[in-house]
Amino acid sequence: MSALVIVGTDTGVGKTVFSAGLTAALNATYWKPVQSGLEDATDTETVCTLSGVDVLPEAYRLNMPASPHLSAEDMGIEIDLSRLALPQVDGPLVVEGAGGLMVPLNRKSYYLDLIAQWQAPVVLVARTALGTINHTTLSLMALRSAGSEVVGVAFVGDPEPDVEQTIVEMSKVRHLGRLPYLGVLTQQGLSDAFSSIDVATIRRFL
Ligand SMILES: Nc1ncnc2c1ncn2[C@@H]1O[C@H](COP(=O)(O)OP(=O)(O)OP(=O)(O)O)[C@@H](O)[C@H]1O
Ligand SMILES: C[C@H](N)[C@H](N)CCCCCC(=O)O
Ligand SMILES: [Mg+2]
């Protein structure tokens, strides 16, 4: 079994949309271990709609759309990292984080700690929009200091060549492509847009 972890520089950067495209491109299985917020479509439901791939059930389904540690506390529970071991599946597993790396799972551990425990390669999803140099650089520093293997950065948004190049050069990280904002998100549209992502390089880490 080989897993790939998709993390973001922040919540709402496009991890789920990227994960849907990547899971389909790799013919993989998708897993969102901790879902906080159940009122709108969950990330797992979105991935199903956008790519029709196999998905695993979440380990934690938390009602409140907030930081996982707070959503858990709101339900009177505490997230137990020992319940979040990577599941065994046939073929590759694409695992989506929640928010950014320094999001607490409980009062002692961050998502970053769990990712380091997994010892799986990581793809960082980053916006191209203003502010991304700081967020992306800090995220890469955190991943590297935790000992995680960084596959590269996948950008989402309108092209910002100078910004993207600055991150790649100064942080010495692979550019895995840029997913544009799609006016309408459809399975075919996402699959077509994913031709701009360097799936071949990502596959080498599996
Ligand atoms: N490439 C894209 N084209 C069009 N819309 C997009 C794209 N990427 C993301 N979006 C939209 O932006 C919003 C946030 O994206 P997404 O849910 O993928 O973020 P996320 O990083 O997974 O957030 P979370 O931390 O909640 O898991 C969604 O409404 C999504 O449909
Ligand atoms: C609710 C949201 N969509 C995500 N699932 C969780 C985001 C947690 C962010 C916490 C924070 O960085 O302040
Ligand atoms: Mg998501």
* Alpha-carbon span 10 to 13, nearest angstrom: 6
Distances (CA, A) of 59 to 88, 142, 175: 14, 25, 31
* Alpha-carbon span 74 to 168, nearest angstrom: 40
Are residues 142 and 159 in contact, defined by beta-carbon separation less than 8 angstroms?
no
**pLDDT for 142:** 98
Half-sphere CA count of 186, side-chain side, radius 13 A: 5
What atom in ligand 2 is closest to the CA of residue 100?
12
Q: What six digits make up the tokens of 45?
A: 């439901």
* Alpha-carbon span 53 to 30, nearest angstrom: 7
Q: How far, in Å, is the centroid of ligand 1 from the Cα of 151? A: 21
Q: Is 108 a catalytic residue?
A: no
Q: Is 97 annotated as a binding residue?
A: yes
**pLDDT for 133:** 98
Q: How far, in Å, is the centroid of ligand 1 from the Cα of 192? A: 17
ipTM: 0.99
- In the set 22, 23, 32, 67, the catalytic residue is 32
Nearest protein Cα to ligand 2, atom 8: 67
* Tens digits of pLDDT across the chain (206 residues): 699 999 999 999 999 999 999 999 999 999 999 999 999 999 999 999 999 999 999 999 999 999 999 999 999 999 999 999 999 999 999 999 999 999 999 999 999 999 999 999 999 999 999 999 999 999 999 999 999 999 999 999 999 999 999 999 999 999 999 999 999 999 999 999 999 999 999 999 99
**Bridge partners for 154 per DSSP:** 125
**pLDDT for 1:** 61
* Alpha-carbon span 35 to 53, nearest angstrom: 18
Distances (CA, A) of 155 to 10, 23, 39, 176, 200: 13, 17, 28, 8, 16
Backbone angles phi, psi at 78, to 5 degrees: -125, 135
Residues with CB under 6 Å of ligand 1 are 8, 11-17, 43, 98-99, 156, 179, 181-182, 185
**pLDDT for 24:** 98
Residues with CB under 6 Å of ligand 2 are 11, 36-37, 65-67, 98-100, 103
Q: How far, in Å, is the centroid of ligand 3 from the Cα of 98? A: 6
Task: Mark 156-172 as b/e (b = at least 16 C-beta within 10 Å).
Answer: bbeebeebbeebbeebe
All structural domains of the chain, each given as residue ranges with its CATH number in brackets, are 2-203 (3.40.50.300)
Are residues 43 and 132 in contact, defined by beta-carbon separation less than 8 angstroms?
no
